[in-house]
Structure formats: C-alpha cells, structure tokens
Amino acid sequence: MTLKITTACIFLLIITIIDCKKFIIPDLILIIFFMTMLAFDLYTGKESIPRHAVEALVMFLIFWLIYHFSGGLGFGDVKLIGCITYTFGFISSIYVCLAASIMGLVFFGVNRVIGVKKVKRIPFAPFLAVGCIVYLILRGLVK
C-alpha cells in the first residue's frame, strides 16, 4: 500500500471517529485531506490531477443533488465523497459508494430486526471508510 493510500486511510479513520461521535465532518479536516492528496500528486508529478479534480467535482455534484433533493445525506458526506473520488478515481468511488450503501442498509435492517430503538440518524462516513477499505482489499485481490 502506498504512502498516499495509507494517509488517506488515516484521514478516513479520523473522520469516522468524529462523525460517529458528533454526526459532523469538520470542513477543516476535509480541506486538509484534499490538500494532502493533491500534494502527494503534485510531488509525484502525476499528470492526472486535472482529470481527478473534474471527476471529484462531478461526483460531488451528483451527491449534492442527492443531498439537496432527498435530505437523507449530510453535506459533510457529500464533501467527503469528493475527497474520496479525487483520491481513488471516479469508477473506484462508485464501487466505494455502492459498498457503503449496501453496508448502511444492512446495518439499518439488522437494527430493525433485532428491535433496537428506531435509529433516526446514521453517520455515513464510517460506511464510506469501510467501503474504501473493502475496495482496496478487493482491488488487491483482483490485480
């Protein structure tokens, strides 16, 4: 695992802890996360920076529309999706979001089945973080 991916996972862990405790993802952490990933790409001379930035913007806009019209997603999660997409790429982030959504639905369903009191809010960042890890593991097994 590269230093960039390891650093991204550390950011995701920090964001997960904060989101679980406070149901918020601070903008400052997201800015530092994004700028750190950009710095890695600038340092390594990646030519894909503009493409990744556009992909992140597109995914951000898609999830902003979901946030705006459904109300079931926090705006911090929308910004986090942008950071994840910049870091892992557009197609990879679709797999991450799919895995996160499935895990979130399973979590919600299990809570309903076992009779846990009605859950009003579920932090989505932990599912996104685990989705990233699942994607990285599966990508490692596939390639």
pLDDT band at 128; cut points 50, 70, 90? very high
Task: Please give the Cα distance from 51 to 81 (Å, whole number).
Answer: 16
pLDDT digits (tens, 9 = 90+) for 74-109: 999 999 999 999 999 999 999 999 999 999 999 888
Residue 118 has pLDDT above 80, yes or no: no
pLDDT digits (tens, 9 = 90+) for 16-41: 999 999 999 999 999 999 999 999 99
Quick check: 55 and 86 in contact, CB under 8 A? yes
How many domains does the chain contain in total?
A: 1
pTM of the model: 0.91
Task: Provide the domain limits for residue 124.
Answer: 3-142
